[in-house]
Amino acid sequence: MKKYSIQEVGQLSLREKVGQLFNVRVESLVPGVEGSVTEGSDAMTDFFRQYPCGGVTLFGANITGPEQIAAFTDYLHGLGNYPWIFVDEEGGRVARVGQNTHFQLPRIGTMASIGATGDPEKAREAGRIFGEYLLGMGFDVDLAPVCDVITNPENTVISDRAFGTTPERVALMAPAFLQGLREQKMEGCLKHFPGHGNTSTDSHVGYSESLKTWEELDICEMIPFRAGIAAGAKMIMTAHVCLPNVTGDKVPATISRMILTDILRGRLGYRGLILTDSLEMGAISQYYSKEEAVLMALEAGVDVLLTPLDYAKAFDAVMEAVESGRITMEMVDDRVSRILALKKELLQKRGQLLI
């Protein structure tokens, strides 16, 4: 079993620090490439030296078989300061590995079907199964469980990805799923804060909102997230959902300081990593430039910027913002310290931390 060292924040150059704030599509590390990338290359290694990143997210097209994915994740982990590898493995229709015909793996149904049993042990077992095979392939973080509560029957973006239609059911199931992942030394990520189950539009495509007040959110959407935080969640992903009756504006939660800093960190007391949902999605990319989106997310309280549309431009924008003083070094160091601490924790649990 390979071991990896994690540098302290004070040992990193500014470019290395800024890179830690990003988790990118692997294609972003080979500018100009056509199609999906399934292996490392000299071009990727060279680009990483100039634009290092904290991690990558792999999708179904990046995964073509057991030997391929083991070799690819091994290469990626060795690029520098342990880029961690994320994947969406929720079960049902969102399973980048489980739905892949190149693998003979247990097929886990929708989280709605698991939630309908009322048995949290079913959710824990699903997390355990995912964690076991994902860890074996070299993944570090499963971007699950979904903590959304389906309160709008017209919701299609979340739909059967959620454990249920009541906050109590979701609050019972999501922490159990997270526990199952952790039993296999995998980390999970609660999503999509502050809730995507009440919307009628898809934030992948464009503007999405919930008209609930804070009081309404607090007795519904917040209940599963509070349960997940109480269970020790280390990662929470944002939703690109606007809450005009909470914030008084139409700014998506991903770039709202009120939602992420005042509410998630302040009222809910969350101390782990905050990840954006993909910054490629229409609710962000249609209304904000590549550069402004990442800066507003950092100012709102985000730690990890997920799959920006143009990694080099986003990276350069953060570098320029630090150099101009818009983003302070204290802010960068604070976020990078949290990221490196969790990387160390994961590797230590697996006996892979080189001290």
Which backbone phi and psi does 225 adopt, to 5 degrees? -70, -40
Distance CA 111, CA 173 (A): 9
- CA 216 from chain centre, in angstroms, equals 26
Distance between CA 341 and CA 31 in Å, rounded?
Answer: 30
Amino acid, res. 176? A
Contact call for residues 168 and 194 (beta carbons, < 8 A): no
Q: How many CA atoms lie within 13 A of 66 on its CB side?
A: 5
What's at 308, amino acid-wise? P
| Cβ atoms 223, 167 nearer than 8 A | yes
Q: How many CB atoms lie within 10 A of CB 334?
A: 12
Could you tell me which of 234, 238, 118, 246 has the C-alpha nearest to residue 171? Answer: 118
Name the residue with tokens 């091994």. 74
- Identity (one letter) of the amino acid at 121? E
**Helix-helix angle 120-137:66-77, to 10 degrees:** 80
Indicate which residues carry an active-site annotation.
204, 277
Q: Report whether 137 contacts 155 (CB < 8 A).
A: no
Q: CA torsion, points 52, 53, 57, 62, in degrees to nearest 10?
A: 0
